[in-house]
Structure 1
Amino acid sequence: MPELTVGAVRIEVAADTNLLDDLLGAGIKVPNSCRAGSCHSCLVRCINGEPLDAQPQALSAAQRAQGWRLACQCQVVGDLSVQVFDPAADGIGASLIGCDWLSATVLRLRLLPERPLRYQAGQHLLLWTPSGIARPYSLASVPNLDEYLEFHLDCRQAGAFSDAARSLQLGQSLRLGELHGGALHYDPHWQTRPLWLLAAGTGLAPLWSVLREALRQGHSGAIRLLHLAHDDSEYYLAQPLAELAAEHPNLQVQLVNTAELPAALAELRLVSRQTMALLCGSPASVEAFTRRLYLLGLPRNQMLADVFLPRAF
C-alpha cells in the first residue's frame, strides 16, 4: 500500500484513492469547495513522488513545476509526500479597507493587498479569513482602475466563510491565495460585437468587472446585461448599473426576479450571430441561460460560462 506523508504524519492508503479524501480522512485540514478542479482551494505541493493528475491543465506550467497540484483531482498511485498550502507562507497579506452590505444578503469586501496584484477582469481569488477558512471568490474590481480588490459575498445561506466575514473589522488582515481565471474575460477584439452579460445572484460580481473593463476599453457594440435575483430586494447593484446605462447609450440593463425569468428569456432576440455571451451563476441558472441562447442559434463557442458550484462543506 502507498505511504502518504504530510509533515510528521505518515499513513498507509489504498492505491488509486483520491488524494483529498486521503488527507481529510487522516485529519489533515485541507480547504476544499467544488471538488471539480475549478476553485483551486485544495492546493498541495508534492515534495516527493507524483500522483496521477486528472486535470493537469488546471494549473499553469509554472505552478506545476513548483510541485503544486489540486488534491481533489489526484489519485495516489505510489509513495507520496505533500505539503498543504500555507496561507502565512504561500499567500499574500491584504488589509480590509471596506466591509458593507449592498443588500440584505450581499456583503461587499474591499481589500488592499500588501503588494500590487496583477489580475484580469473575470478572475477568481482564494480568500483566507484570520481563523484559517478559505473560499474562492470572483473579483468584482477592475484591474488598472480600482486600487482595491472587491468581492461580493452571497450570505443568504449559512456558510463557514460568509459567517466569519460578518464579524470582520476594518483594518483586519486576510490572506490571499491562488489567483486563477475561469472562462469569463473581456477580449478587445470583441469591441464592435454585441456583448450579452447574463448573471444570477452574485454571479453579477465578475460580470460587473467585465462590464466596466469593456466600457473602460471603449466597447462600441451593444451591451445587454441581465441580472437575475430571487426577488426585487436583491438587485444589489441596481443604482450603479442604472448610472452606467445613463452614461453609455450602448448599455441596456434588465433586472429580473425568479418568477419573471421564463418570460424574460422568451423575449430575448438575437440581433447578430457575432454576439458574445458571458454567463455566471448557479448551475440551474447558467443552464437556463445556455439553453435559451442555444435555441436562439448562438454558437456554443460564443458562450462563456462560469458556474458557482455548491459548497462541499
Structure 2
Amino acid sequence: MPELYVGDRHWSVATGSNLLDALNQAGVAVPFSCRAGSCHACLVRCQGEVLDQQPDALNPAQRHDGWRLACQCQVVDDLRVEAFDPVRDGMAAEVVSADWLTASVLRLRLLPERGLRYRAGQHLVLWAGQVARPYSLASLPQEDQFLEFHLDCRLPGAFSNAARQLKAGDRLRLGELRGGALQYDPDWQLRPMWLLASGTGLGPLWGVLREALRQDHQGAIRVIHLAHDAEGHYLAEPLAALAASHPNVTVELWTAAQLDQALAQLRLVSRQTQALLCGHPVSVEAFAKRLFLAGLPRNQLLADVFLPRG
C-alpha cells in the first residue's frame, strides 16, 4: 500500500485513493469547494507520482513545481505532500470595505499588497485563516483601485461565516488567480452581446459589461439578471445608470416566478449574437437550452457555473 508523507507524519492508504479524501480523513485540512477541478482551492505540492485526472487544469510551470489539484488525483505510489500555505504562498490583501447590498449579498473590496494583473471575469481564491473559497472578480482592471467580489451569504459555510465578520482594515490572503470562462473579446465589438446571470453570477458579468463599454462596444448589449425575488436584484440601480448613459445597453430583471414565461419569449435578433452565462448550474442550463433552441450556435456561448460545495 502506498505511504503518504506530510511533514513528520506518514500513513498507509489504499492504492487508488482520492488524494483530497486521504488527506482530510487523516486530519490534514485541505480546503475544497467544487471537487471538479474547477475552483483550485485544494492545491497541494507533491513529490512523487499520482494519477492525475485533469493534467491540463494547471499550467506547465505549476505542474513542473509539483502543484496538483488534490481532488483530481489518485494515490498510486509513495507520495510526499505539502499543502498550500496562504501565509507562505499567498498574497496579503486589506479589506477596503465590506458592504451588504442586500440581506444576503456582501460586496467585498480588497486592496492587495502589490499590483495584480487580471482581466474582468477571472476567479481568485480567497483565504480567511485556513478557510479558502474561490470567487469571481467583479472589478474592472486598470480602472478600479480595488478587487471586488460579490459573496452570496444566504447559506451558512465556513468562509461565508467568516466573511460576515469582516470590516475595513482586516486582512485576508489571496491564492491562485484563475482564467475563468468569461471574458470580453474586442473582435465582438459590432456583434450583439447577451449577458445572462443568476444570483451573484452577475458579479463577473458586471466586470465584463464595463470592460465591453470601456472598449466602446458598438453592438447591442442585453443584460438579464435572474433573482429569487425583486430584492435579489442587488445591482439594479448601477445597471439602470449604465443603461441610461449607453443607448446600446438594455437591462431586464427577472424573478424565479417569471422565469419560464420569460425564457419562452426569448428570440435571437441575430445569429451573430455572443452570449455569456454565469450562475447556478440549473439556471445556466435553463438559459443555455433556450438559447440553443432559439438558434444560437454553440461556439457563441461561454458559461461559468458556480458549482455548489460538495
Q: CA offsets per residue over residues 190-246 of structure 1, 9 Å max, x none?
A: 111111000000000000010001101111111001000000011000000000000
Q: CA offsets per residue over residues 60-84 of structure 1, 9 Å max, x none?
A: 1111111110000011111111100
Matched with 1:233 is: 231
Aligned pairs for 1:60-139 (under 5 A) are 60-129=59-128, 131-139=129-137
Matched with 1:30 is: 30
Matched with 2:51 is: 52
Compute the displacement of 1:158 (Å).
1.2
The residue type paired with residue 231 of structure 2 is S
Matched with 1:13 is: 13
Q: CA offsets per residue over residues 89-113 of structure 1, 9 Å max, x none?
A: 0000000011101111100000000
Matched with 1:256 is: 254
CA–CA distance in 1 between the matches of 2:253 and 2:132?
31
The residue type paired with residue 59 of structure 1 is L
Compute the displacement of 1:31 (Å).
0.3
Matched, 1:277 2:286: no
CA–CA distance in 2 between the matches of 1:142 and 1:65?
31
CA–CA distance in 2 between the matches of 1:96 and 1:173?
6
CA–CA distance in 1 between the matches of 2:141 and 2:167?
25
- Identity rate, percent: 69
CA–CA distance in 1 between the matches of 2:65 and 2:175?
15
Q: Secondary structure at the match of 2:63?
A: helix
CA–CA distance in 2 between the matches of 1:145 and 1:292?
35
Compute the displacement of 1:285 (Å).
0.2
Matched, 1:210 2:216: no
Matched with 2:199 is: 201
Q: Secondary structure at the match of 2:27?
A: coil
CA–CA distance in 2 between the matches of 1:98 and 1:157?
21
The residue type paired with residue 264 of structure 1 is A
The residue type paired with residue 103 of structure 1 is T
Q: Secondary structure at the match of 2:169?
A: coil
TM-score calculated relative to the size of structure 1: 0.98
CA–CA distance in 1 between the matches of 2:16 and 2:269?
51
C-alpha RMSD of the superposition? 0.8
CA–CA distance in 1 between the matches of 2:111 and 2:96?
7
Compute the displacement of 1:9 (Å).
1.3
Compute the displacement of 1:160 (Å).
1.3
CA–CA distance in 2 between the matches of 1:63 and 1:219?
35
Compute the displacement of 1:259 (Å).
0.4
Q: Secondary structure at the match of 2:56?
A: helix
Aligned match of 1:188 in 183, 186, 199? 186
CA–CA distance in 2 between the matches of 1:62 and 1:102?
39
TM-score calculated relative to the size of structure 2: 0.99
Compute the displacement of 1:140 (Å).
0.3
The residue type paired with residue 81 of structure 1 is R
Q: Secondary structure at the match of 2:219?
A: coil
Matched with 1:143 is: 141
The residue type paired with residue 229 of structure 2 is D
Deviates more, 1:235-244 or 1:266-275: 266-275
CA–CA distance in 2 between the matches of 1:93 and 1:214?
30
Q: CA offsets per residue over residues 132-173 of structure 1, 9 Å max, x none?
A: 211000000011111100000101111211111111121011
Aligned length: 310
CA–CA distance in 2 between the matches of 1:80 and 1:168?
38
Q: Secondary structure at the match of 2:95?
A: strand
Instruction: Structure 1 unaligned segments of length 5 or more: list them.
Output: none
CA–CA distance in 1 between the matches of 2:108 and 2:175?
16
